Structure 1
Amino acid sequence: MARRQVRAAGGGRWLPWLGLALLPLAVPPAAAPGGCPSACYCVATPELVQCRYERLEEPPRELPATVRNLSIVGSNLSVLHRAAFAARPLPDLRLLHLRHDNIQTIEDMALQGLPALRTLDLSHNPLLSVAAGAFAGAPLLHTLQLNQALLAAPLEEQLALALRNLSLRRLELAGNALRALPAALLPAGLEELDLCNNSLQRLTAAELRSLEAPGLQRLRVTLGANPLSCDCALRPLLTWLRIAAARVPDARSLRCTAPPLLRRAVLLHLRPEALTCAASEPGRLETASYVFFGIVLALIGIVFLMVLYLNRRGIKRWLHNLREACRDQMEGYHYRYEQDADPRRTSTIGTPGL
């Protein structure tokens, strides 16, 4: 009995400490200034706010001032108006995801009030218009994601104006059905360019020279999942890859999709001189046809001259016989003409009874 009382007394000494340890779990944490928007929820802390498939027509106004990462997915933000996020200052926001939000227009200074923004994701939006000062409110923006965002309209010129004053380090343009390198969208200082899953069949010599422009010598380009056509027009790209393979992180995985004989072939395993011209190049094919036709005509002419040379004696004899025959014929005509022109023969023929 005494032992039980001692144990109870010993265990009772730990109860106050156990209560203090469990006190934070019993008391809910204080809400951050501004709290979470009613249509969104905060993950772990108010620094990460996610608004998923709530059909918002404008960015929420009651965002926590301490938010660092904001994700708005599946809404209907068809127009990002001027100062769309400036209703409440967000000085610490660094990452902004605006995917699948049906964004079609971005007005001037749409990102005003986001001075610390580093990464902007506008992927999977049918962009139709981008103002020249669309990103001017985010001077520190260094990563811009535009994957599957340029399918609705050609925006290369508009985006070139919008990006000219930014210090971008990474630009993602995957899945935009691009058929050529968007050289106008490459600001000086760009370090990473994602062109995966486009419609690039090759990079021309002029496009490759643009990658060597001042300020782009460190640019790395990702080219995976493009329908590369391994014909003679791909020789500049293959030669460049052999020299600057480090600038294409997925260079070793690039494969040919055409012609059929080289389908699935690893690009770096081919030699530039082994790439032949495809039949889809009518200009070069027509030129080759004319050259071949001229060679054939020249061979026919040479054979004809050789035949004449080898039969020169027979030809000479034939010409001599032809000349003699012509001479005999002309002499016969001359004799008959002289007989017909004789006046005595004419008078004898004309006098009856003689």
Structure 2
Amino acid sequence: MLPWMVICALLCVYHAGAACPAGCECSEAALTVKCVSKDLQHIPSGIPGYTRNLFITGNQINRIGTESFKGLVNVTTLSLSNNRISQIESNTFADLRSLRSLDLSGNQLAIIHPEAFSAPSRTLRDLNLSRSLYNHTAVKDLAASLRLSALSSLQGLDLSGNGLIYLPDYIFSHLGSLRRLQLANNSLVALHNGTFASLERLEELDLTLNAFRTFREEALREFDRLPWARLHLGLNPYTCTCGIEPFAAWLNESRARVADAERLVCAFPAAMRNTSILGVSDVPLGCHRAGQGPDLALQTSYVFLGIVLGFVGLMFLFVLYLNRKGIKKRIYDMRDACREVWEGYHYRYEIDSDPRLSHVSSSADV
């Protein structure tokens, strides 16, 4: 009996080992498969069906498509970080009916097809795309994919470290359940109307380490549309000139919502460096306030308009000067024509008013 048990155990070990793809480590007990830094060119086939946690990282995989994850209906956590993936096809993750967390960080995504992140059961909760977008064209592809992939249950989205300089309008409008949005370490300079449309449930927004010099009234209205969001706004190159005043006033009123409000400081100009933005309203910036003097921009507009009108007047006089002889001739011609017409009317009047010539006029009419 004992030899048969040993043989069965060996067979089980053999089959378990055979079920694990080459270059991967499989643990049925932990329901985990790891294929880490094995220079894989594609997603390995034969991944066990029991797998819930799948880590394929640090390889040389260029693209992933609908055939990449066939039959892996139990996978809940999928990490594909640092694989140099440049293309994701539509419905790539369609077979991952239990997928909750997807990590694509550290890749080189240049082509993201529509519905790239769609899954039939809409179970995806966390999507990590940090340091993964190859160029600005990928941002437009991503915006389209976020709209078409039916990610209505997504709660966490990480887009940090992608060098983003803008966000397409309404890029997050179809992510109504989103609670955490990471936009740190990019190059964003402004937020526009509709940037955070439909994100009423957002609880955390990270905008640290970007290129914001201030937040204008349009951006402040966007923040006010996120009533439950904890904001992180530090480590931006804030420029404390007249344009910073609306933001400083808003920050003083909303400091409870800004996690790092006490650490927000001016970077420019040099005289204001490291000055707390909360205290900017107490520092004279030399700005014209309403009711305290004329608006500088309006004054500049009037001056510019006066210069333009003066230039047009000078050009008109110059043209008149160049054509003075022709203009003088035309005036004389008009004077002579008027004189001839006047003399004709005067002659006719004298004939009509002389009784001695009335019979001549009547004969002529007959």
What is the TM-score of this pair, normalised by structure 2? 0.59
CA RMSD of aligned residues (A): 3.7
Does structure 1 residue 227 correspond to structure 2 residue 237? yes
- What is aligned with 1:91? 73
Tell me the secondary structure at the aligned position of residue 159 of structure 1: helix
Specify the code of the residue in structure 2 equivalent to 1:176.
N
Deviation digits for residues 170-199 of structure 1 (CA, Å, limit 9, x no counterpart): 111111223345653323232111122222
Tell me the secondary structure at the aligned position of residue 174 of structure 1: coil
Whether the 8 Å contact between 1:196 and 1:223 is mirrored in structure 2 is no
- What is aligned with 1:334? none
Residue 109 of structure 1: CA displacement? 0.3
Rounded to whole Å, the distance in 2 between the matches of 1:141 and 1:217 is 25
- What is aligned with 1:13? none
Note the residue ranges of structure 1 that are not aligned, 5 or more in a row.
Answer: 1-22, 279-284, 295-354
Specify the code of the residue in structure 2 equivalent to 1:173.
L
Q: Among residues 20, 25, 48, which one is paired with 1:36 in the alignment? A: 20
Rounded to whole Å, the distance in 1 between the matches of 2:250 and 2:10 is 64
Residue 247 of structure 1: CA displacement? 4.4
- What is aligned with 2:155? 169
Does structure 1 residue 261 correspond to structure 2 residue 271? yes
Tell me the secondary structure at the aligned position of residue 118 of structure 2: coil
Rounded to whole Å, the distance in 2 between the matches of 1:52 and 1:115 is 24
Specify the code of the residue in structure 1 equivalent to 2:269.
P
Distance 1:92 1:119, change over 3 A: same
Distance 1:123 1:261, change over 3 A: farther
Q: Among residues 194, 206, 219, which one is paired with 2:218 in the alignment? A: 206
Specify the code of the residue in structure 2 equivalent to 1:260.
A
Deviation digits for residues 252-296 of structure 1 (CA, Å, limit 9, x no counterpart): 4444433323434444x3335748499xxxxxx9848849989xx
Q: How does 1:183-194 map to 2 (within 5 A)?
A: 184-186=170-172, 187-194=175-182
Tell me the secondary structure at the aligned position of residue 72 of structure 1: strand
Residue 102 of structure 1: CA displacement? 1.0
Distance 1:39 1:46, change over 3 A: farther
Specify the code of the residue in structure 2 equivalent to 1:171.
L
Distance 1:83 1:28, change over 3 A: closer
Rounded to whole Å, the distance in 2 between the matches of 1:51 and 1:206 is 47
Note the residue ranges of structure 2 that are not aligned, 5 or more in a row.
Answer: 1-5, 188-210, 288-294, 305-366
Rounded to whole Å, the distance in 2 between the matches of 1:33 and 1:185 is 45
Q: Among residues 49, 52, 55, which one is paired with 1:68 in the alignment? A: 52
Tell me the secondary structure at the aligned position of residue 102 of structure 2: strand
Tell me the secondary structure at the aligned position of residue 257 of structure 1: coil
Whether the 8 Å contact between 2:28 and 2:51 is mirrored in structure 1 is no
Deviation digits for residues 125-157 of structure 1 (CA, Å, limit 9, x no counterpart): 121111111011262112111112224233333
Q: Among residues 172, 180, 183, which one is paired with 1:195 in the alignment? A: 183
Does structure 1 residue 156 correspond to structure 2 residue 142? no
Q: Among residues 141, 164, 178, which one is paired with 1:178 in the alignment? A: 164
Residue 103 of structure 1: CA displacement? 1.3
Specify the code of the residue in structure 2 equivalent to 1:271.
V
- What is aligned with 2:43? 59
Distance 1:244 1:190, change over 3 A: farther
Tell me the secondary structure at the aligned position of residue 136 of structure 2: coil
Rounded to whole Å, the distance in 1 between the matches of 2:286 and 2:64 is 48
Superposed structure 1 runs of 4+ greater than 6 Å apart? 26-29, 291-294
Residue 111 of structure 1: CA displacement? 0.8
Tell me the secondary structure at the aligned position of residue 181 of structure 2: strand
Rounded to whole Å, the distance in 1 between the matches of 2:269 and 2:166 is 20
Q: Among residues 96, 103, 106, which one is paired with 2:85 in the alignment? A: 103
Distance 1:46 1:207, change over 3 A: same
Rounded to whole Å, the distance in 1 between the matches of 2:133 and 2:281 is 33
Tell me the secondary structure at the aligned position of residue 170 of structure 2: helix
Tell me the secondary structure at the aligned position of residue 270 of structure 1: helix
Rounded to whole Å, the distance in 2 between the matches of 1:107 and 1:275 is 56
